[in-house]
Amino acid sequence: MTTTTDSPALTPRPPVDPATVPTWPRVLAHLSAEGTGVVRVDADEHRLEAGDIATGRSKAIALVRVLVAEPLGRPVRVDTREPEGAWQVIVHPDGVVQSAGEDPTPTATRTELASLAALSPAAMPQVKPTDPTGTTPVIKLTKPTDPLSATSPTDSTAPPRLTDLIAQQPPARPAPATWGWRHHLGQLSGGLMTPGPGPRETAHRAAVAAVQRTFTGARTVVVVNPKGGAHKTTAALMLAATFGLHRGGYTLAWDNNETRGTMGWRARQADHQRTVVDLLRALPGIAERGQARVGDIDPFVRPQHWGHFDVLASDEDAASSAAVDAAAFAQLHEQLAAFYRVMVIDTGNNIRASNWQAALAAADQLVIVSTVREDTSKTAAWLADALAETGHEHLVRQAVTVLTAPSRASDVALEQRLQGHFARLTRAVVSVPHDPTLVAGGPIDFARLSPATREAWLRAAAEVAVGL
């Protein structure tokens, strides 16, 4: 980290490893050469205006500090885009700015970024949100060309438009705290005092907002580890449940084992035992009737009402010789994408199976799962190496690693070693605590999961959503 002698707000400190800074909430700062721009926190955008780019940087950093870093009580990663290039910086709660690694910024600009002092509340930029639909930006970094764009601030003779009125809306105030002493204080005061959320609740809300972000189409999440017992099925069900609970449904957990998987056993039972093989056989008849409808798919999936998602089980007939290959997977995936916004796919242990390879080809986000064990983690690392060597390096770099504790007495030293390895290998690493409810192997009872377990899977789903 760079410090300067003329900036008393910045004091020397051991630098934070950028790999340890979470990537959620996703924060972007876009600045024009004139210093105007937009700071985006997940789906919320805030307009800032400045006379020059140096002032614009100061205001952007101050905005990130007050809106995100201070409430979360931790450093925040910021993707910065300016005419000179794009790079990442880390903003600390006290306003200190640290480079997140090598970037194309000229030396003078890097020094300027690193010497930004924390602004006083009076110097804070005015926060102006964008159109709540998220479709009309308040400010364009290039000259507007379409007639519906916001009026240029230098054109005082042009009549105001709807976009100008929307831009003047005050930012929404954070909802009062619903956790801990802050919530109880509001209740005891009869509503006279309404403290805002604390750091933990703020982090929870940011994770929920990440999971609820808008996607431009159906998204496919593929959970992998070629070793049995790596908690792939548990991870697929918990991710699907978390997306379903916070997005209101239209989520599918799909067991893509080439022969028999266990997802159907881990899910709540339905009034039928149909599987992916039955759906595959029914597809030609559905196609003959014309465009498929949701009702055509319902008889083949098992609704999980506790988590607002569906399960598509693999073949459970011990006497069956049916197998799902790449062509069958592609046909099913095309049909199911018409009905589900998020599909979380559990995979088998044979990475050479054609349906495993087909799932990998369809993946928008890869999730590498491992228990905190030497054998399981080495298999996960081997898989990541194999994928990188066969043309899937970008998918690995953008992957999310989930490390689950196999017992209460987890190996702390091994977990730290694994976190360091996979943090350098993948985009994010999330640790999930041991929970006896998930170890038994029966249907998952979400109500019996510990709050720490539910929160950890929410963090994992938030990281997955950032990559979608």
pLDDT recorded at residue 126: 40
Q: Please say if the pLDDT value at position 412 is more than 80.
A: yes
**Are the C-beta atoms of residues 183 and 196 closer than 8 Å to each other?**
no
CA atoms within 13 A on the CB side of 100: 20
Q: Chain-centre distance of CA 320, in angstroms?
A: 39
**What is the average pLDDT across 171-189?**
73
Decide the pairing of beta strands 37-41 and 128-129.
Answer: unpaired
Instruction: Say if residue 160 is exposed, middle or buried (CB neighbours under 10 Å; 0-12, 13-18, 19+).
Output: exposed
Q: What is the distance between the alpha carbons of residues 148 and 315, in angstroms, rounded to a whole number?
A: 54
Q: Is 201 left (phi over 0), alpha (psi -120 to 50) or beta?
A: alpha
CATH superfamily, region 209-466:
P-loop containing nucleotide triphosphate hydrolases (3.40.50.300)
> Confidence class of residue 256 from pLDDT cuts 50, 70 and 90?
very high
Q: What is the distance between the alpha carbons of residues 129 and 92, in angstroms, rounded to a whole number?
A: 23
**Are the C-beta atoms of residues 222 and 360 closer than 8 Å to each other?**
yes
Q: Which 3 state secondary structure label does DSSP give 428?
A: strand
Domain segments of the chain as ranges? 18-134, 209-466
Which of 79-93, 114-128, 160-174, 251-265 shows the highest mean pLDDT? 251-265
Q: Higher model confidence: residue 301 or residue 199? A: 301
Amino acid identity for residue 249 in this structure: G
pTM equals 0.68
| Spatial CA neighbour of 82 closest among 57, 62, 65 | 57
Range with the lowest mean pLDDT among 145-149, 286-290, 449-453? 145-149
Amino acid identity for residue 115 in this structure: S
Q: Chain-centre distance of CA 155, in angstroms?
A: 40
Q: What is the distance between the alpha carbons of residues 130 and 46, in angstroms, rounded to a whole number?
A: 7
pLDDT recorded at residue 320: 64
> Confidence class of residue 87 from pLDDT cuts 50, 70 and 90?
confident
Write out the two tokens for 8: 């008393």
Cα 78-114-138 angle, rounded to 5 deg: 40
DSSP symbol at 404: E
| Spatial CA neighbour of 298 closest among 284, 312, 288 | 312
